[in-house]
Each structure stands twice: as C-alpha cells, then as structure tokens.
Structure 1
C-alpha cells in the first residue's frame, strides 16, 4: 500500500499550485493498475502544466520515480503515473466531460484533508 508521505506530497503540491477540486479515490480493491487516483483541475492549460511540473519536480526531489507522463503538451488532461498513484490533472472543462469520478464510482473516496499539511 502507498505510504502517506507520497500521497501528501502530491496533494500538497497540487494545492500549492492552486489546483481546483482535488479528489482522491482508492482503487486498489477494484483494479491492479494503481492504489490511488488523484484527480484535480486547473483553470487553463498553463495552470495544468504548472501543476504537473510542480508535482513531478517535488516527487523527484523526494526520491519517487515517475513511470510515465501523458498529455503534457496539450495541457488538457495530464496523467502522471507514479506506479501506485496515478495523478489526473484536467483542464476544468475536460474534467466535467470525462467525469472520472463517475467511471470509478466503486472506488473509495479518501478525505483529502487527512493528507494536507
């Protein structure tokens, strides 16, 4: 299972970059691709890219390996794969369209406040 520090780093960094509507879904019991999805939004492509870059940098500084990054150029839906945690950073309009929260409704919502410093 994911250590709390890793999840806290991601959530705190997204919050520091003013990510909107940060949600965490525990998916470990319904899929083998990850333990958690972190989903957040930015108000522009520039902001989503800044959020992604900040999370990538903070995780690297703390010794966590980024396994894959997708969508960085467009800034509409950026995916950062840290193995046990997958971070989805959406432009606010695209988040409404794709509605991952509905697709992963069987996952367990995690109280983000437990991970924010």
Structure 2
C-alpha cells in the first residue's frame, strides 16, 4: 500500500485517501483513492502505480477504464486503486459509500 501511495504522490496525485476495507468487504484489504487533473494525468498515475508494483513482482491482476480516462481501477488483489477525475470522484463518492471502512493515516507518505 505504501509503495502505491508514494508512486501516486511522486506523480502529483491529489487528495490521496486510503480506506482499510478488510473489515467491511471481501473485495480487498485496502482501497486507495486518488484524484488526477486530466485523463492524461490518470494514465500517468496508472502507469506509475502499475510499474512500482510490477517492479516488486506484483503487477495488477486487472486494469479497467484506462481508455476511458475518467475513472481507472487497478486491482492488485488485496489492494484496489481508484484513480478519478475530480467530477467523477465527487459523483461516485467512494469515501461516503465505504464510510464504514477505517481511513488510514498516510500523511507520513505524502508531500501534500
């Protein structure tokens, strides 16, 4: 999880949020949610997170939405990464949807 957060932060991902979801769903242990400035920025963030994990021997199991550009989902098994344009993030509001999940402090990992 830390490796992905650092990769997103290094490429200027905004409002990075980590939800510990293992207590509320079997889908993943963590959801990482991040906002991008543009569809090009989403692709950059996707590529950086994928590369960081692939270099560790854990490439994404599945990537969805890469060509659409408004919301990309990276599935690493225990970690699911959601990369959004701002308006899409506000519309889907995953933090509210998964409000029963504990928010993880990542302030020590980011430059924001």
**Could you tell me the TM-score, scaled by structure 2's length?**
0.95
Matches of 2:82 and 2:105 in 1, distance apart?
Answer: 17
Structure (1 or 2) with the greater helix fraction: 1
Q: What is aligned with 1:20?
A: 14
Count of equivalent residues? 111
Q: Report whether the alignment pairs 1:101 with 2:95.
A: yes
Gaps of 5+ in 1: 1-6
Q: What is aligned with 2:61?
A: 67
* 1:65, distance to aligned residue in structure 2 (A): 2.9
Question: Do 1:8 and 1:116's aligned partners in 2 also have CA atoms closer than 8 Å?
Answer: no
For the aligned residues, what is the CA RMSD?
1.2
Please state whether the residue corresponding to 2:107 is helix, strand or coil.
Answer: helix
Matches of 1:65 and 1:73 in 2, distance apart?
Answer: 18
* 1:16, distance to aligned residue in structure 2 (A): 0.6
Gaps of 5+ in 2: none
| Aligned mate of 2:72, from 52, 72, 78 | 78
**Could you tell me the TM-score, scaled by structure 1's length?**
0.91
Question: Do 2:51 and 2:59's aligned partners in 1 also have CA atoms closer than 8 Å?
Answer: no
